[in-house]
Amino acid sequence: MRTRARWLGRIVALGLLAVGLAATPIGTASAESNGGVRVMPLGDSITEGTATPGGYRIGLWQRLAGGGYTTDFVGSQFNGPGSLGDHDHEGHPGWRIDQIDANIVGWLNTYQPQTVLLHIGTNDILQNYDVAGAPNRLSALIDHITAAAPNAEVFVAQITPLGWAEGDAAVNSFNAAIPGIVQSKVNAGKHVHMVDMHSALTAADLDDGVHPTAAGYDKMAAVWYAALQSVPGSIGSADGTEIVGAQSGRCLEVAGAGTANGSGVQLWDCWGGANQQWTYTAGKQLKVYGNKCLDASGQGTSNGTAVVIWDCNGQANQQWNVNANGTITGVQSGLCLDASGWGTGNGTKVQLWACGSGQANQQWTRR
């Protein structure tokens, strides 16, 4: 079985290398920049997005933009669909840890990222390339990253599963070394953080036993996003933004510019006032005026619960998920932020209601 697994691994690895030759752009990528915090997605075909061009970067970009963060993906590679707002990355299909390591200092000097998202090691296993030595190679790569970019926040992923037992056993063995590697860097004063990507996916989330499906990549995006939000400065601060109803085109605002606890929330023509500026925090709060939070009145969890503002207190009725599908859902209730009665006019009250299937009065954009 071991001989057969190694043979299969070499065949898969050759396939990945062939994909790399076909998918990697020729010459320098056409860099996109919005002046935001520079984030380098770094790794192999799973970063590039084999099977789903853009991969996890699609969902991550959408979450960052929806959360009010201004980020600039950087790297020499460029791919993905229009729904990916920034196509730059450093994902190289078929590449192992040593190949990334051979180029990393040059990339870091060129692009100077504030944050690095590292997912690497899959091809070391698929190519049966000194698998026992892979953790030491990863440790050396991290050292080279932190030496070249000492102020960068470096997120190191435990890699995603492989779809067959022997392959995933090797993944688990490699991943088991990563907590200790990361902790040693933290103990040395480095800005290094571990991200458990392996447990976010199962074999059912893999398209071909190696690369995630579109849904699997989106699960990766959610994990990256949560990790970034947990480290202050890694993606900057969320900007105060307007929250606009997709159906009405009107803004979510505190009625009458009220500032007292219990002031209601409604739809109104967007005009840029302070009562229409919302900041989404790492604690999943939607803040207005800097000290008031969007609040499910009375800790309500039923249809029709009023949405108001209240002094921020960290309770679950003040926590919200800003979702990639355009909904905003209460963490405590699971219900959607809803324009009452499908209303679109000024003064339409906003409430909690069971999420429908793409209901326009429950769809919101941040701008």
Residue 221 pLDDT > 90: yes
More confident position, 30 or 42: 42
Question: What is the per-residue pLDDT across 56-103, written as a single tens digit (0 to 9) for each?
Answer: 999 999 888 877 788 899 999 999 998 898 999 999 999 999 999 999
Residue 280 pLDDT > 90: no
The percentage of the chain sitting over the pLDDT mark of 70, rounded to a whole number, equals 89
Which residues is 241 bridged to in the sheet?
A: 278
Q: Write down the pLDDT at residue 365.
A: 86
Question: What is the per-residue pLDDT across 285-344, written as a single tens digit (0 to 9) for each?
Answer: 899 888 899 999 999 999 999 999 999 999 999 999 888 788 999 999 999 999 999 999
Contact (CB, 8 A) for 298 and 292: no
Residue 12 pLDDT > 90: no
At 11, the pLDDT band (50, 70, 90 cuts) reads very low
Give one DSSP letter per residue of 318-335, joined into a string: G-EEE-TTS-EEETTT-P
Strands of 126-240, DSSP E = 153-158, 192-196
User: Mean of the per-residue pLDDT values for the chain?
Assistant: 89
Q: What is the dihedral of CA 10, 155, 221, 124, to 10 degrees?
A: 0
Q: pTM, whole model, 2 decimals?
A: 0.66
Q: Write down the pLDDT at residue 19.
A: 36
Contacts of 117 (CB under 8 A, 6+ apart): 39, 40, 41, 42, 43, 47, 155, 157, 224
Q: Write down the pLDDT at residue 13.
A: 37
Return the minimum-mean-pLDDT range out of 12-21, 129-138, 211-220.
12-21
Q: Write down the pLDDT at residue 31.
A: 62
Q: Write down the pLDDT at residue 228.
A: 93
Contact (CB, 8 A) for 60 and 225: yes
Return the minimum-mean-pLDDT range out of 12-21, 43-52, 57-66, 270-279.
12-21
Q: Mind listing the domains of the chain with CATH numbers?
A: 2-229 (3.40.50.1110), 243-366 (2.80.10.50)
At 34, the pLDDT band (50, 70, 90 cuts) reads low
Report how far residue 122's alpha carbon sits from residue 170's, in angstroms, rounded to the nearest whole number.
Answer: 10
The percentage of the chain sitting over the pLDDT mark of 90, rounded to a whole number, equals 75
Residue 49 pLDDT > 60: yes
* Backbone torsions φ then ψ of 65, nearest 5 degrees: -65, -45
Residue 3 pLDDT > 80: no
